[in-house]
Amino acid sequence: MQYTNEECVEFLQRIIAANKNRIEHYTYMSQYLDTDRDTDLLLLFEKYIQQSQQFKAQLTPMIYREGDTEQTGDHKILNASTNTLSQPSRSNIVEACKQLEIEVKQVYNDIHLFNAIMEDQIKELIISQSELLKSNSDDTTSSV
C-alpha cells in the first residue's frame, strides 16, 4: 500500500528518518563501549538497532515504491548529540541514549496531529511501534 496524503507522508518520512538516525546513533555509540565489560549495553544497542530497522522496513513501503529513493535526506531529525561524548564513559553514553529515546518518542507522539486524516491501519502500526519504544525505557534505565 502506498500512502498519498501529503501531510501524512511527511509525518511518515519523519518517523523513518528518526529510526534511521536512531540506528546511526547506536552504531556510533557502540564503538565507545568495551566488548568485555559493556556486553549488556552492546546487546541493548543491537536490540534497538534491529528494532529501528524493523520499524523502518514496515513504514517504508507505505510511502515509497520499490526502487524509489527515500526522501528523508541527510538532515537529522533527532538532536541527541553524540558529539558531546568527549569523555565517552558508560554513564555519558547511557545519558545520551536516554535523550535519544526521548526524542524518538516525541516524533512518534505527533501522531495525534494526524488522527483525523490517517488511515486506521497506519495509525495502528505507528501506535504499536510507539508502545514498543515506551517499553524500552525500562531497559535503558536498568543499564546505568
- DSSP per position, 105-135: HHHHHGGGGGTTTS-HHHHHHHHHHHHHHHH
Q: What average pLDDT does range 48-66 have in this prediction?
A: 90
Backbone φ and ψ of 78, nearest 5°: -100, 145
Q: Give the Cβ contact number of residue 88 at 10 Å.
A: 14
In percent, how much of the chain has pLDDT > 70?
76
What radius of gyration do the chain's Cα atoms show?
A: 16
Closest CA to 117 of 2, 1, 18, 11: 11
Q: What is the pLDDT of residues 59-105, one digit of tens each?
A: 999 887 655 555 544 445 555 555 556 678 898 899 989 999 999 99
In angstroms, the CA 52 to CA 43 distance is 14
User: What per-residue confidence (pLDDT) applies to 54?
Assistant: 97
Task: Check: pTM over 0.75? Answer yes or no.
Answer: yes
| 6-142 has CATH 1.20.1260.10 classification | yes
What is the overall mean pLDDT for the chain?
83
Q: Which of 1-15, 24-38, 117-131 comes out lowest in average pLDDT?
A: 1-15
Q: Which of 16-25, 32-41, 70-79 comes out lowest in average pLDDT?
A: 70-79
User: What per-residue confidence (pLDDT) applies to 129?
Assistant: 95
Q: Evaluate if residue 122 carries a pLDDT over 80.
A: yes
